Amino acid sequence: MKTAQARETPLSRDSLGPEQIDSEPAEESCLNPLWIEVLPGGEAALEIPGSGVKLGPALRALFRRVEELPAESWGGPAATTRIPFQDRTFDLVTLYGKRPSTRALGEIVRVLKPSGVLYLAAWNRWWFGRFRKACPRLDSGRVYAGPRLAGLVRSAGFSVVRQYYVDPSLAQPRDILPAYGPSLRAHEILRWREGEAGRLRVSLACLRMSWLLYSGRIIVARV
């Protein structure tokens, strides 16, 4: 396997170059993966925020009207999972870090226009880092995406479902990887070939266990 431009290595603080200058974290960087979908129209979007992350600014730049569903009305025990809008209202619904029930997905299908898009960003239930003591906060109120989530989305009536892994995190995505074996294997080999940890990651990718390696997942589905 080739190795090349894409390999990342830690940098000392005084070794800045223009490439690193451009790579400075941006305030709104959590919005970025929106462009993996060619978004329709531009009339209306609905945001269902969660875990303190909001896509608002990005959506406002793309759509004439952006509605926000209060987080407390979604997913909790007292929630109605009723979206208080008419049928076929939105071009896009974003759901961030909230696991939808079958009934909730049905509501999303109802309010989406034909060919409307669901953008679902979630933390990966199987990410190895979740189990480290260093990350206890990850368990505070977040719901994780497991393999069944994509099936759940399909069964709710979405015809095109695509899955991506996000590295290193949803909040600061640097790489977006189609959740398919060749892409994940190539990514791991390019980035992590050296060192014991790197070899372990590559081995897991070759064994089709990449689902352990990434903290974030994105599911994009079209009605």
Residues that bind other proteins (CB under 8 A): 1-7, 9, 12-19, 21-26, 28-29, 31-39, 42, 57-58, 61-62, 160, 162, 164, 172-178, 180-183, 185-187, 190, 220, 222
Residues 6 or more apart whose CB falls under 8 angstroms from that of 88 comprise 110, 111, 112, 113, 114, 116
Peptide bond into 168 cis (omega under 30): yes
**Least distance between other proteins and beta carbon 133 (Å):** 27
- SS3 state at 219: strand
**Which C-beta is closer to other proteins: that of 125 or that of 222?**
222
Handedness of CA 82, 162, 160, 148 (dihedral sign): negative
**Which C-beta is closer to other proteins: that of 115 or that of 155?**
115
**Least distance between other proteins and beta carbon 55 (Å):** 10
**Which C-beta is closer to other proteins: that of 97 or that of 173?**
173
Residues 6 or more apart whose CB falls under 8 angstroms from that of 64 comprise 42, 43, 44
Alpha-carbon distance of 135 to 92, in angstroms, equals 32
**Least distance between other proteins and beta carbon 62 (Å):** 6
**Least distance between other proteins and beta carbon 221 (Å):** 10
**Which C-beta is closer to other proteins: that of 9 or that of 86?**
9
**Least distance between other proteins and beta carbon 126 (Å):** 20
- SS3 state at 189: helix
Alpha-carbon distance of 190 to 97, in angstroms, equals 29
